[in-house]
Amino acid sequence: MKGAVEAEAAISLPARSRSWFIQAILTAIVFMPAWKWHGLWPGVALALLFNLPLVLGPSRITIYPYSRRLVFSYPGFGSFRRQKVVDLAGFSRVYSQIDSYAARSLHLSGPQGEHLKLASFAQSVRSANRHIEEVAELRKRIARALHIADGGEA
- Sign of the C-alpha dihedral computed for residues 24, 27, 31 and 32 taken in this order: positive
- To the nearest 10°, report the CA torsion of 62, 64, 67, 71: 0
Higher-confidence position of 18 and 67: 67
Position 94 scores a pLDDT of: 92
What pLDDT score does 93 carry? 92
pTM over 0.85: no
When comparing pLDDT for 14 and 134, which is higher?
A: 134
pLDDT tens by residue, 80-135: 667 788 888 889 999 998 877 778 888 999 888 888 888 888 777 677 777 788 88
92 and 149 Cβ atoms separated by less than 8 Å: yes
If pLDDT is split at 50, 70 and 90, which confidence band does 15 have? low
Smallest CA-to-CA distance from 101 within 86, 119, 121, 127 is with 121
Which pLDDT tens digit goes with each residue over 34-77? 888 888 888 888 887 777 766 676 778 888 988 889 888 877 66
